[in-house]
Chains A and B, each alone.
Chain A
Amino acid sequence: MSVADYLIPYDFSPVTILGFVLVLGFYGYGLLKMPEENRPGSGRILVFVVGVMMCYAVMQTRFDYYSQYMFFVHRGQHLILHHLGPFLIALSNPLPVMRFLYSRISPGTRRALKPLGWIYRFLQHPAIASFLFVGLIYFWLWPPIHFDAMLSRDLYWIMNWSMLLDGLLFWWLIFDSRSPVNSNALGYGKRILLLALVAIPQMILGATIVFSRGMVYDVYEVCGRAWPMPPETDQLLGGLLTWIPPAMMSILGILIILRRAMREDGKVSPYSEELKASHS
């Protein structure tokens, strides 16, 4: 197989390609047109593009073929769609670009977008966000559901897109660049708590898959593997990918948030202005 064969989509999805083109297009347009003082540095731009391209690569290249026919590659695909890709995108903090783009939208369109804002705020409630984050992993890995999702092309696409969108929402909430001191962003303590809370059920699920003796996901047995590999090995590797990297990413996230919190320690005191006023 030539290099081109590895790069072209296994299952061509115009909607997916359009989605990625639009995201990169709008991001590039925003970068070029926005005032220089708000523009993210080249490091942040690189992190954003790498995050987006990783998600694209696992959906629209030969990688997708291996994800459909090997359980452990499928787990790797979801690790990128739900964790690593959105993690990088949120960490690169494209908020200034989005703010600029939003300022370019006409008031009529803004009004039309309002319901989206309500849905967004509802989904970003910490309880809902963490429930969805873990719930979706459990949902798509529930054996009968997983079986159907791997058999049906439509369900397969819904599964991958739902993982990507939910990943973006969750890591966006966690790495919200606004400080909780002077905005309504989620407090650092709560963010750390969420990261720890979502890690536990993922570790339990991963360990369950690793230590189960029978075949939990027989769809790969039923539908043939991309290359002959013992089913136990495939399942073991898949379980490890569900168990260890997500737990490590939670810890990495906690460290990043701790660093932010320590930087802000003592810098700003929310009531200082009021206190000063009342004591003078």
Chain B
Amino acid sequence: MTIQSHSRLLRMLSVTAMTVATVILAGCLGDDESWRGKDISGLMPELAFELTDTSGNTITASETNGEIRMLFFGFTSCPDVCPATLQKLARAVNDMPDNLQKDTRIVFVSVDPRRDTPDRIESYVDFFSERAIGLTGEEKALRELSKRYRTTFGYDDPDAEGNYNVSHSGAVYVFDREGDARLLFRPDLSVEDIRADLVALAQENNS
């Protein structure tokens, strides 16, 4: 092969490679789903946890199988994100058809076990919805669970009264009846959008 044709071949190859790369990029961006929330199928592992419920008993994820689970990390002293999110989820569940409501479960996990006693969590979640359960555990178990869902939490320095802020995920992780990760609700999603997604999930292979 002459040097000239060799370099022409290389140039042609490079143009082809760029075209292919552009097409692949365009393909990645064009995922038009009918879900209102963010589709996370395949991105995250199935639901698994072993935590303490508000009666002080150990509870695992499999005990809630068969329900659409909405996992949310927070703390009861949370000034804004947690109450707003829980209220939104509760309203969305309430707006669902009666027969589907019993198939949903709001799973509130407190990442502030020092302040959040089971009693405190119980009265907190009961205030929002009867479909909600409140869980917590030792910090190690909470760290593992949050790491599994690529999130974290951190504590601010306490002020003079001993109050401190906790940084945590603002998202709701939604798992289907089998426990597969399906959707992620961003904090700005509306009640109607959440309701629509929950109904669609609940009606999926509804036995």
Interface set of A (CB-CB < 8 Å, partner B): 11, 65, 68-69, 122, 125, 127-128, 131, 135, 139, 142, 144-145, 147-148, 150-153, 155-156, 218, 221-228
Contacts and interface: CB of A to CB of B under 8 A. Distances in A.
Contact of A227 (B10, B28, B146, B154): B154
Interface string B6-49: 00001101100110010001001100000000101011100000
Given A68-B152, A145-B28, A222-B187, A151 B40 contact: yes
B21 A135 contact: yes
B168 interface: yes
Contacts of B18: 127-128, 131
B150 A153 contact: yes
B152 A151 contact: no
B89 interface: no
B152 A226 contact: yes
Contacts of B129: none
B43 A148 contact: yes
B166 to A, nearest CB: 8
B167 interface: yes
A145 B43 CA distance: 12
30 contacts: A11-B147, A65-B152, A69-B151, A69-B152, A122-B10, A125-B10, A127-B11, A127-B14, A127-B18, A128-B18, A131-B14, A131-B18, A131-B21, A135-B21, A139-B25, A142-B29, A147-B38, A151-B40, A152-B43, A218-B186, A222-B169, A222-B187, A223-B151, A224-B146, A224-B152, A224-B153, A225-B154, A226-B154, A226-B167, A227-B154
B29 A228 contact: no
B184 A151 contact: yes
A53 B115 CA distance: 41
A228 B167 contact: yes
B44 A152 contact: yes
Contact of B14 (A128, A155, A156): A128
B150 A225 contact: no
- Interface of chain A, helix or strand or loop or mixed? helix
A222 B184 contact: yes
Given A68-B152, A127-B14, A223 B43 contact: no
Contacts, number: 83
Given A65-B152, A131-B21, A224-B170, 8 more contacts: A122-B10, A127-B18, A128-B14, A131-B14, A152-B150, A153-B150, A156-B150, A224-B152
Nearest to A223: B151
A224 B43 contact: no
A122 B154 CA distance: 46
Contacts of B167: 224-228
A218 B167 CA distance: 14
Most buried by A among B73, B152, B169, B184: B152
A222 B171 contact: yes
Given A125-B10, A222-B184, A224-B170, A151 B150 contact: yes
Nearest to A153: B150
A224 B168 contact: yes
